[in-house]
Amino acid sequence: MRGKKIGIMGGTFNPIHNGHLVLGEMAYEQFGLDKVLLMPNKKPYYKTTLDSISEEDRSEMVRIAASENDHFEFSDIELKRNEITYTVDTLEELTQQFPENEYYFILGKDSLDYLEKWKDADRIMELTKIIAACRNDLDRTIDEKIEELNRKYHAHIYRLNSPNLEISSSFLREMLKKGRSCRYLVPDAVLSYIKEKRLYE
């Protein structure tokens, strides 16, 4: 049975926005992926608050966003855990369930800089290829970091060529709290859900 090339984009997605979706789409195209899993975290070890937004609301926003793209798929694999979420555990579980697949973990430059501090970072780089996105095309430090990690861990890390979209979830939360428009920054269906549920007010 031929394995598939599966992209993984994890995060709190609080809320999910067009910047996330563009990165997923660019990774899908550039690396010939079969699909991209949008995977909300349950309780990331590095975040102590989720601004009072429930797990159910974060999940539903991701589910809505994923439904608008045939090669995006919502994944609740991390939500099913009761304990703190670690990337290495997710990759171990996926590899055990579908050993024939090839996994590509999509992350940003900020996360790449701290990758070595993640739990079992060497095992992560063994289990998955990594696609790294940079917010600034002129920033060449990402190439140096990729080269360093590839050499040190015999990893397979690649740079993602993507447009610069300066969007962050924290910025959007602040905009929504102030009642400012987030149109064109968040998918329309997700924005409708936020307004309907009066999230971030």
Please give the mean pLDDT across all residues of the chain. 92
Rounded Cα distance, 176 and 199, in Å: 8
pLDDT attached to residue 73: 98
Q: Which of 21-35, 126-140, 177-191 has the lowest mean pLDDT?
A: 126-140
Is the pLDDT at 185 greater than 90, yes or no?
Answer: yes
The rounded distance, in Å, linking the Cα atoms of 52 and 40 is: 16
pTM of the prediction? 0.92
**Contact of 159 with 140, CB cutoff 8 Å:** no
> How many other CB atoms are found less than 10 A from the CB of residue 101?
15
Taking 60 as the threshold, does the pLDDT of residue 46 lie above it?
Answer: no
Cβ burial 68-82 (10 Å sphere, 16+ → b, else e): ebeebbbbebbbebe
pLDDT digits (tens, 9 = 90+) for 17-32: 999 999 999 999 999 9
User: pLDDT tens-digit profile of 67-114?
Assistant: 999 999 999 999 998 878 899 999 999 999 999 999 999 999 889 999
